[in-house]
Amino acid sequence: VTIRARSVDVPDLVGGARNGDPRAVARLISLVEADHPELRAVMAALVGAPAGPPAAVIGLTGPPGVGKSTTTSALISAFRALDRRIGVLAVAPASPFSGGALLGDRIRMQDHALDPGVFIRSMATRGHLGGLARSTPQALRVLDAAGCDLVLIETVGVGQSEVEVAGLADTTVVLLAPGMGDGVQAAKAGVLEVGDVFVVNKADRDGAAATARDLRQMISLTHRPELWRPPVLQAVASTGQGIGELVEALEQHRIWMTSNGELTRRRLRRSAAEIEALTLAAVQRRIGSLDPGSRLNDLAEAVLEGRLDPYRAADTLLTALGPAH
């Protein structure tokens, strides 16, 4: 609400972001989170004149407690040693109960807070329709403009939609830990489809090898030779063990994707998800609110009184939406 009240100097902010000014980058991502009316102008400016090649985008996801933040922090160190400029987006749905808590682990990334080559941002999207699908690509555009070579998207939620957001990355890393009893279950439930690289973190604990073996077996069952075969690594992110192998696997996956067009296909998917989310948000605005006398109000009354079923009410709204003006 406050952010909407402040005026936005779009050219100034976009110029600042292009110069790598962290405050301009932060402000632009705040506009993305708030779905600010000036975003349309911001995105037009960013799309029209790209700053350079797009950043490589790596998604990290996994159940709570698996060490996502620690792994992200270790990856930042590894990529900084290669002199890459890095953006980090920690994405979580806003929760009125645990707002701070879901993102509370950010402390592990404080090591990098003073490094001007690292831009870290937690993003909480309110229950907006398609909020994550819209805001993640838009935040990536901002980080691209700021000259990031690489963006890590860490999804903190446990829901399907957070996993899907990680899946909007070029490469998705799925983290599991031994003894959580859900390695195989997770795989069954669809995580196999989204993971390009699997990491059994906390590999100094009992059962790491068994979890890795289970995962490899499941991958074998569905693997087709023309596809990328997701490696299953073991790591102890807190000590850095296995992080070099992870960086290497990410590099291999990028080479594979570039060689066969998969990278373009994935970026196309991300653009499509962004367009779809923006379209649905526009439809939602046109449906309007439940003010007395509004069309939605009339239809809701008819449904409530049993004069109309909800599907026919939706048909009526669709017909009334008509083309854009």
Of 81 and 318, CB closest to a copy of itself: 318
31 to 70, contacts with a copy of itself by CB under 8 A? 39-40, 43-44, 46-48, 50, 62-64
Q: Is 277 exposed, middle or buried (0-12, 13-18, 19+ CB in 10 A)?
A: buried
Segment lying near a copy of itself (by CB under 8 A), choices 28-36, 67-75, 106-114, 127-135: 127-135
The structure tokens listed for 321 are 């939406």
Does 279 contact a copy of itself by CB under 8 A? yes
CB of 115 to a copy of itself, least distance (A): 30
Does 19 contact a copy of itself by CB under 8 A? no
E-state strands within 23-149: 56-61, 86-93, 118-125
If one counts every other C-beta atom within 10 angstroms of the C-beta of residue 138, the result is 21
Task: Label residues 244-253 b or e (16+ Cβ within 10 Å = b).
Answer: eebbebbeeb
DSSP 6-24: S---HHHHHHHHHTT-HHH
CB of 316 to a copy of itself, least distance (A): 9
CB of 234 to a copy of itself, least distance (A): 19
Single out the residue of 17, 76, 89, 102 in contact with a copy of itself (rule: CB under 8 A).
Answer: 102
198 to 237, contacts with a copy of itself by CB under 8 A? none
Of 23 and 307, CB closest to a copy of itself: 307
CB of 311 to a copy of itself, least distance (A): 5
Question: In angstroms, rounded to a whole number, what is the distance separating the alpha carbons of residues 3 and 116?
Answer: 25
CB of 71 to a copy of itself, least distance (A): 15
CB of 222 to a copy of itself, least distance (A): 15
CB of 196 to a copy of itself, least distance (A): 15
Question: In angstroms, rounded to a whole number, what is the distance separating the alpha carbons of residues 152 and 169?
Answer: 9
Does 94 contact a copy of itself by CB under 8 A? yes
Longest dimension (CA), the chain: 67
Q: Is 151 exposed, middle or buried (0-12, 13-18, 19+ CB in 10 A)?
A: buried
284 to 303, contacts with a copy of itself by CB under 8 A? 284, 287, 290, 296-297, 299-301, 303
Helix, strand and coil in the chain, % to nearest 5: 55, 15, 30
Segment lying near a copy of itself (by CB under 8 A), choices 196-204, 209-217, 246-254, 269-277: 269-277
